[in-house]
Amino acid sequence: MDDEFRIVALIGKYYSTSPEVAAAVARLAAFLRGRGLEVWIDPRTAEVIGPDATLRVATFDEIGEGVDLAIVLGGDGTMLTAARALGLHHLPLVGVNQGRLGFLTDVPHDQMCERVGEILDGRYLRERRSLLEVELWRGEQHVSSGMALNDIVLSRGEIGRMIEFRLSVDGEYLYSLRSDGIIIATPTGSTAYALSANGPILHPRLAGIVLVPLCPHALTYRPLALAHDSVVELEVIGTRGGVVHCDGQTLFEARIGDVVRVVRSQQAVTFLHPEDYSYFNVLREKLHWSTLPHLS
């Protein structure tokens, strides 16, 4: 089945000089070359592992256009970065967990070559995850835009006071709220920041959008699940603006009167999992369900 994946890109954990990460990238690259595959890496990974004439250094756009499979070695943050950059290219992604949590990087690092070999042999599960698109409008002017796999967050930023905004769904006014902000999450993101704010868990096969207020001024404002084709608009009101984040990265500042518009993207991210992958098993393991408490 190597004919399906002839060129493979390796994307390493960003902002890390850990010798373990560099060693894992080098080991996997040697394994892939041993199977007769061409291996590419992105520039930041190249900086981490150092010069290697056997690897082609390529930008994300070049990887998206020229590669058959991308393997991400890192944590969920590294996968989020890769997914946003490669989502428009329909490139399948595999995640090797070199981080802490590993909701999105489900191949154990100590089984890396074995599990990647199984995927190369065609023994994998394919899964598509939805993305969100956000636009900032200032009157009739389109100011900025972005994309997220986990969530889009309108927050108060570094200021110590709440922000105020008016929420509409599909053009219909829902409520005005004073709070620390609001999370708009995909099913994938329902187990991330939204979960820590008491939002619901949505199975990835659901096509919904979750709204989770952040520390609302009134306790009656509860998380809300919307249809997948909903258009969410947040108009910043009150006396101060806010900040918009995509997957935890600051995207742009929202001034008073600005409108933040969020919709489900027509694009999606494709993950390849090992054959024995189970979403419910991931929940049990990462959230420690059914784990007996430690008794002193």
Alpha helices in 35-103 (DSSP H): 43-49, 60-66, 76-86
**Residues facing 170 on adjacent strands:** none
- Residue 76 designated active-site: yes
Three-class DSSP category at 77:
helix
Is 39 in contact with 32 (CB distance < 8 Å)?
Answer: yes
What angle in degrees, to the nearest 10, is found between the helix axes of 112-120 and 19-34?
40
Token couple for 265? 């993207």
Residues 6+ apart with CB under 8 A from 68: 4, 5, 6, 7, 8, 91, 92
Work out the number of other CB atoms within 10 angstroms of the CB of residue 216.
18
Catalytic: which of 76, 151, 180, 258?
A: 76
Rg (CA), the chain: 21
User: Distance between CA 63 and CA 72 in Å, rounded?
Assistant: 13
User: Distance between CA 146 and CA 179 in Å, rounded?
Assistant: 23
- Which strand (E) or helix (H) includes residue 47? helix 43-49
Alpha helices in 176-278 (DSSP H): 193-196
Catalytic (active-site) positions: 76
